[in-house]
Amino acid sequence: MRNSFVARHPSVLAFLALLALFTLGVSVLSEGFGIGLISTSFVKTLGKTLCLCLIAVAMDLIWGYCGILSLGHFAFFGLGGYMIGMWLMYERTRLIVEGSLAQGALPPTEQEVVDAIGTQIFGVVGSSDFPLVWAFADSLILQLAMVVLAPGLLALVFGWLAFRSRVTGVYLSILTQAMTLALALYLFQNDSGLRGNNGLSGLQNLPGVEAPQAVISLWFFWASALALGLGYLLAAWIVSGKFGSVIRGIRDNEARVRFLGYSVETYKLAVFTLTACIAGIAGALYYPQAGIVNPAEIAPIASIYLAVWVAIGGRGRLYGAVIGAAFVSLVSSWFTGGQIPDLVLGPLTIKWVDWWTIVLGLSFVLVTLFAPSGIGGLFDLWQGRRPPDRHGADLGPDAGALREREATE
Amino acid sequence: MTRLMIALAALVLFCAQAMAQETTVQSVLQAHRETIEKGSRTSIGSAIDAIAASGLPQAQEVLQVWAAKEMWQRSDDGLFYRGTEKPARQVELFDFDTGQSFGTVSRDELSQIKPNSGVRAMIGTALVQFQLSDPDPTRRAEALDAIQRSPGADLLAPLRASIPAEPDTALKARKMRVERLLTIAFDPDEPSRIAAIEEMSGDLGVDMRATLNPLLVTRIALAEGLPETANIRREVKPGDPALGVAAAYDMLIAAGQAQPIPDNEARKALLIANMVDGQVAGVPVHRLDSQEARDAAYVQLAQAGLVPRWSTAEAPEVVVTRHRFVEVYSEPSAAVTEAAEQALAEIERRVGLNQAIDLGLDALSLASIYFLAAIGLAITFGVMGVINMAHGEFIMMGAYTGYMVQQVIADHTLSILVAIPLAFAVTFAAGVTMERLVIRHLYNRPLETLLATFGISIALQQLAKNIFGTQARPLTAPGWLDGAWVLNDVVSISYIRIAIFVLALIFLGLFLFIMRRTRLGLETRAVTQNPRMAASMGINPDRINMLTFGLGSGIAGIAGVAIGLFAKVTSELGSDYIVQSFMTVVVGGVGNIWGTLAGAAMIGTLQKGIEWLNPSNTLAAQTYMIIFIIIFIQFRPRGIIALKGRAAGD
């Protein structure tokens, strides 16, 4: 295997090694299994960050490699969370309800159990009947399948409609944003069947598991790390082959790829659907660690932040997306956590909780203007890769092209 | 018949007058002394009627004094007086008949007559006949208001009597209208009621519908046991939306035609009650974990006679089909209900028509709001191809400018007049600054423009939050914009919305003027079509781009002032409109002001239309609208009005 996949892409091996080392390190320092240097809540934060890195990889695949700026991937993320949340909530409520009904004089019938679960779950929106979308909620296997199928199906239908009418560029971005807004508004209604703006809650408890949160949080952390590793490997494999060449071709000049005889729409649809499935899996791992999923998570702003992470990390390279998501989300939670002392500038006191968003927004503008390749670009500097200085001449026929840099690699 | 009634009423009044020649107010009051002292609602009627019918000139005053709790009774001789309270527990008394003062008396020698609220309402009704012919027109109008608030059968005769002498034509028309409504509701004479209903048929007033609806109140009853004369509307089958099987069965139980069936819960309780040594009817308790097992155990118990009989065969669904159920009007007269049904159908047809007009007006005003919000975007996005995610924040900036101006200038009209150009100036400057610093460097990278402007958008939003806080700031409209233009009880539109519509029209005209008649417009069009060619003709594309962007941003600022007038000014004001604005531009077709207009009209109409279909849910309306737009884009990917040929650019 002289020309093996790993040999051709040493960065993948490096990334996986770092991820494994990081996972091991956190496990050793954790409260659950190690010496207790890292608190459980911080383990959860790190686990959630890994999930965000996974969706950032998906975003990089669709935006950085295929050139489609999707502003709707958090819809798929949230949908994945809802799908696993339905099972978690149903199963946990079932255990509680069965426990309390067992105290009665007669053993409960199945119908009584289901009715009691319905009252428990939907009492908050003034209902007690299970809507149709909860049909599979009692089966972990089916609901896990839904984690992939529901976002995948939505992406397939939406993508098919959008790509076949040749909606491209900013139009497509706005359309994806409209999609996520529509989904969020729909879920906000009480009669959508998913508890309206209450969302699904209590997801941090695994039904039937007695282990403390310190241990459960580590399980999820490992699962997230595993998912990120596999997702990264899959994405790296996809972009390294012929398929990857075609989607990069689509990014750089769609018309030419079409004239070469490729079915551009099919390729786009495949990437869009695949990334939606990855986003769904990331969401299904994220929300049990967050404990609650509600429609506000799907609001358009979340998907735009995703684009921000990938842009700051450096799009068009998978490790850039991971770095961007991890860096920005961790720094964000550090700044908004209120642990940083206020900055006093004479009469003006800067509270970072209030001013962080402004710093983020402005630094985002600066990155877009002055460092289009983001933090990942530092690796280019380190390796001595530089784009040729063209003295301000045009980049080429397609505006969003990254062609130039790749040609020099 | 009506005339006879009036004649009768006049006769009664005349007789009362004749008798009153010898009487005084005091004698009337003394005649009913005991009931007045007692003040009970059930018996006080005769006393009030006697005063009202006495024909004495002071009768109205007496009733008013009584209702206002200003009537006092002297304890030693039981005479009634009007009294006003003075300091030191003194009361000054006045005689009712002469109006003379008796001087002040200590409260200890008096007792105050305090009618309860029920009695006061009865006095108020009696006072109506005086008020209806009061010389002051406002008092007469108030009396009519009171009648409409609480209509009653006893008000019909005084109202009719007051109509012929009414001098004011407007009031007379109103009195006649109220008289018709009271006739429909209370006249004992059936033909005159039907005549009144037919006469008023097609009237759009809410009060007319409120009068008709009680006539058409129905209930569902068992056909057996109803009197022959019952006014039946229709037969109802159990299972109909109006009558569930369970409700029908309950009715049968109440009529003694069926036995109550113990439901699952009741049977479960009976099973538990008959539990012996962990067994029910010989079945171990732990086996009773399915409905079938429980039913079987219950049947066993029933056979043993321990619990009421029950079997799955005697289901309510079967039993109810053996009986007839009918919907019965509470109103006994079939002719009246038929006329009322017809009149209501006619009214509903007209109301529907007017609601369509009202909906059209609503849609128009929503469309003009979207148009205002989107027109600036149409310039930057449509003409320059630059997508500006911070457009919503420029709208917000305009609204906050309006708020700041109102802090300085107290007069609302003046402050709005100052705020509009100032908002334009502020957002124009902000737009030009942004263009110079950021957008200029990203002209051939549209997706990155989108992201960079988004960064500015979140920064500006947070900045506004830091400066103005999260609570909503008021931007008050001038007084002359308060209220609404009311056509009838169904169709109305607020003046603010009309003003926004006019503003939208002005901007449409302004945009067309600038683009077609000015040097700037000419140059902008040239740069849009071919920047290099335009540059070689001596146009500076940089400057044109800057000015165009400034213009688009400035209009967003003015839109912000307009939107702030009816929405609360918060830092999220802009982001509420940004997606809809983009939709408007995309649906309408990029690069064409008429397209934006068509897009705004379509989205406004669509949203209002969907809201009308599902009025309780604006969220759902937005969801369906976005889905519709996604599908619409399938068929017209370039919008309603697409540029063709070279103007399309690609």
Residue-wise DSSP of B501-541: HHHHHHHHHHHHHHHHHSHHHHHHHHHHH-HHHHHHTT--H
Each residue's pLDDT tens digit, A192-225: 788 888 889 888 888 888 888 888 999 999 999 9
Give this prediction's pTM: 0.76
SS3 B320: helix
Count other Cβ atoms within 10 Å, centred on residue A363.
Answer: 15
| Cα A266 from Cα B422, distance rounded (Å) | 52
B463 interface with A at CB cutoff 8 Å = yes
Sort B220 into a burial class: Cβ within 10 Å, 0-12 / 13-18 / 19+: middle
Cβ within 8 Å, pair B447-A69? yes
Of residues A389 and B239, the one with the higher pLDDT is B239
Domain boundary among B583, B618, B641: B583
Residue B107 is predicted with a pLDDT of 80
Sort A333 into a burial class: Cβ within 10 Å, 0-12 / 13-18 / 19+: middle
Containing structural domain, residue A102:
5-298
Are β-strands B218-222 and B110-112 bridged in parallel, bridged antiparallel, or unpaired?
Answer: unpaired
pLDDT of residue B646 exceeding 90:
no
Domain boundary among B329, B344, B367: B329
Q: pLDDT class for B191, splitting at 50, 70, 90? A: confident
Distances (CA, A) of A124 to A91, A191, A194, A200, B498: 18, 12, 11, 11, 41
A345 interface with B at CB cutoff 8 Å = no
Containing structural domain, residue B39:
2-132
Residue A292 is predicted with a pLDDT of 92
Mean pLDDT of chain A: 86
Nearest to A30 by CA among A178, A221, A205: A221
Tell whether B410 and B312 lie within a shared domain.
no
Nearest-CB residue to B291 (from A109, A174, A177): A109
DSSP-assigned states of every residue in B216-263: T-EEEEESTT--TT--EEEEE-TTSTTS-HHHHHHHHHHTTSSPPPP-
Nearest to B630 by CA among A178, A151, A299, A266: A178
Helix axis angle for B190-200 and B169-186, nearest 10°, is: 130
Residue B382 is predicted with a pLDDT of 67
Q: What is the average per-residue pLDDT within A146-156?
A: 95
Chain A residues lying within 8 Å of B301, measured CB to CB:
none
Judge contact between B430 and B401, C-beta under 8 A: no
Q: For residue A326, is it within any domain?
A: no
Give, for B641, the enclosing helix (H) or strand (E): none
B349 interface with A at CB cutoff 8 Å = no
Cβ within 8 Å, pair B465-A167? no
Separation of CA A129 from chain center: 32
The highest-confidence range among A327-331, B170-174, B270-274, by mean pLDDT, is: A327-331
Chain A residues lying within 8 Å of B633, measured CB to CB:
162, 165, 167, 171, 175
Distances (CA, A) of B455 to A255, A298, A351, B80, B451: 31, 19, 20, 82, 6
CA dihedral A7, A8, A12, A18 (to 10 degrees): 40
Distances (CA, A) of B422 to A324, B14, B166, B228, B502: 41, 73, 56, 78, 20
Cβ within 8 Å, pair A308-B633? no
The number of folded domains in chain A is: 1
Judge contact between A93 and A210, C-beta under 8 A: no
pLDDT of residue A46 exceeding 90:
yes
Chain A residues lying within 8 Å of B450, measured CB to CB:
69, 170, 173
Q: For residue B292, is it within any domain?
A: yes
Tokens of B362: 């609503």
Tell whether B319 and B360 lie within a shared domain.
no
Phi first, then psi: give them for residue B234, nearest 5 degrees.
-165, 170
Judge contact between B557 and B427, C-beta under 8 A: yes
Nearest-CB residue to A174 (from B451, B582, B619): B582
Q: pLDDT class for B493, splitting at 50, 70, 90? A: confident
Residue B247 is predicted with a pLDDT of 81
* Nearest residue of chain B to residue A178 (CA atoms): B626
Q: What ipTM was predicted for this assembly? A: 0.80
Phi first, then psi: give them for residue A235, nearest 5 degrees.
-65, -40
- Choice among B5-14, B127-136, B188-197, B631-640 with the minimum mean pLDDT: B5-14
Residue B388 is predicted with a pLDDT of 85
Chain B residues lying within 8 Å of A188, measured CB to CB:
619
Q: pLDDT class for A408, splitting at 50, 70, 90? A: very low
pLDDT of residue A152 exceeding 90:
yes
B457 interface with A at CB cutoff 8 Å = yes
Residue A385 is predicted with a pLDDT of 65
Q: What is the average per-residue pLDDT within B612-620?
A: 73
Count other Cβ atoms within 10 Å, centred on residue A289.
Answer: 23
CB neighbours of A14 closer than 8 A, spacing ≥ 6? none
Q: What is the average per-residue pLDDT within B140-164?
A: 80
Nearest to A227 by CA among A48, A365, A92, A99: A48
Residue A391 is predicted with a pLDDT of 53
Q: For residue B590, is it within any domain?
A: no
Check residue A357 and give left, alpha or beta (phi > 0: left; psi -120 to 50: alpha). Answer: alpha
| Cα B10 from Cα B160, distance rounded (Å) | 11
Of residues A98 and B12, the one with the higher pLDDT is A98
Q: For residue A117, is it within any domain?
A: yes
Q: For residue A33, is it within any domain?
A: yes
Q: For residue B594, is it within any domain?
A: no
B452 interface with A at CB cutoff 8 Å = yes
Tell whether B374 and B470 lie within a shared domain.
yes
Chain A residues lying within 8 Å of B462, measured CB to CB:
354-355, 357-358, 361
Residue A278 is predicted with a pLDDT of 96
Q: For residue B204, is it within any domain?
A: no
pLDDT of residue A1 exceeding 60:
no
Candidates A355, A365, A394: best to mutate against B (most CBs of B within 10 A) is: A365
SS3 B364: helix
Distances (CA, A) of A172 to A71, A255, B108, B412: 9, 17, 88, 43
Q: For residue A365, is it within any domain?
A: no
pLDDT of residue A151 exceeding 70:
yes
Tell whether B244 and B359 lie within a shared domain.
no
Assign 3-class secondary structure to B429-480: HHHHHHHHHCHHHHCCCHHHHHHHHHHHHHHHHHHHHHHHCCCCECCCCCHH
On the CB side of B183, CA atoms within 13 Å amount to 23
Tell whether B318 and B379 lie within a shared domain.
no
Mean pLDDT of chain B: 81
| Cα B648 from Cα B559, distance rounded (Å) | 28
On the CB side of B638, CA atoms within 13 Å amount to 9
CB neighbours of A99 closer than 8 A, spacing ≥ 6? none
Q: pLDDT class for B159, splitting at 50, 70, 90? A: confident
pLDDT of residue B133 exceeding 80:
no
Q: pLDDT class for B39, splitting at 50, 70, 90? A: confident
| Cα A282 from Cα A152, distance rounded (Å) | 13
Count other Cβ atoms within 10 Å, centred on residue B350.
Answer: 16
Q: pLDDT class for A341, splitting at 50, 70, 90? A: confident
Residue A406 is predicted with a pLDDT of 45
On the CB side of B392, CA atoms within 13 Å amount to 23
Phi first, then psi: give them for residue B551, nearest 5 degrees.
-60, -45
How many separate helices (H) and strands (E) can be counted in chain A? 16, 4
Distances (CA, A) of B484 to A331, B203, B584: 52, 21, 27
Q: For residue B374, is it within any domain?
A: yes
Tell whether B109 and B9 lie within a shared domain.
yes
Q: pLDDT class for B405, splitting at 50, 70, 90? A: very high
Q: What is the average per-residue pLDDT within B21-38?
A: 77
Give, for B172, the enclosing helix (H) or strand (E): helix B169-186
Count other Cβ atoms within 10 Å, centred on residue B224.
Answer: 11
Where are the extended beta strands (E) located within A253-316? 292-293
Q: pLDDT class for B18, splitting at 50, 70, 90? A: very low
Each residue's pLDDT tens digit, A80-108: 999 999 999 999 999 998 888 888 777 88
Domain boundary among B103, B132, B161: B132
SS3 B326: strand
Tell whether B374 and B287 lie within a shared domain.
no
Percent of chain B residues past pLDDT 70, beyond the cut: 94
Chain B residues lying within 8 Å of A106, measured CB to CB:
268, 271-272, 285, 288-289, 294
The number of folded domains in chain B is: 3
Tell whether B274 and B361 lie within a shared domain.
no
pLDDT of residue B10 exceeding 70:
no
Looking at residue B363, its amino acid is A
Judge contact between B397 and B562, C-beta under 8 A: no
Q: What is the average per-residue pLDDT within B389-404?
A: 92
Nearest-CB residue to A185 (from B458, B586, B619): B619
Q: For residue B49, is it within any domain?
A: yes
B272 interface with A at CB cutoff 8 Å = yes
Give, for A90, the enclosing helix (H) or strand (E): helix A73-101
A&B contacts, CB < 8 Å: 155
Give, for B152, the enclosing helix (H) or strand (E): none
Of residues B247 and A318, the one with the higher pLDDT is A318
Minimum distance, in Å, between the CA of residue A354 and any CA atom of chain B: 7
| Cα B35 from Cα B47, distance rounded (Å) | 7
Each residue's pLDDT tens digit, A256-295: 999 999 999 999 999 999 999 999 999 999 999 999 999 9
Residue A56 is predicted with a pLDDT of 96
Q: For residue B335, is it within any domain?
A: no
Judge contact between B583 and B603, C-beta under 8 A: yes
Of residues B547 and B122, the one with the higher pLDDT is B547
Give, for B481, the enclosing helix (H) or strand (E): none
Tell whether B362 and B492 lie within a shared domain.
yes
Q: pLDDT class for A77, splitting at 50, 70, 90? A: very high
Q: What is the average per-residue pLDDT within B506-520?
A: 89
Distances (CA, A) of B341 to A218, A229, B88, B214, B233: 71, 72, 64, 11, 11
Phi first, then psi: give them for residue B93, nearest 5 degrees.
-105, 145
**Residue corresponding to tokens 């029910």:** B280
**Residue corresponding to tokens 């400066």:** B467
**Residue corresponding to tokens 């594309």:** B541
SS3 B635: helix
CB neighbours of B69 closer than 8 A, spacing ≥ 6? B112, B113, B114, B115
Q: For residue A394, is it within any domain?
A: no
pLDDT of residue B469 exceeding 90:
no
Cβ within 8 Å, pair B619-A186? yes
Separation of CA A179 from chain center: 17
Tell whether B285 and B383 lie within a shared domain.
no
| Cα B539 from Cα B544, distance rounded (Å) | 8
B194 interface with A at CB cutoff 8 Å = no
Tell whether B296 and B377 lie within a shared domain.
no
Q: For residue A381, is it within any domain?
A: no
Distances (CA, A) of B215 to A297, B160, B338, B480: 52, 22, 10, 41
Q: For residue B591, is it within any domain?
A: no
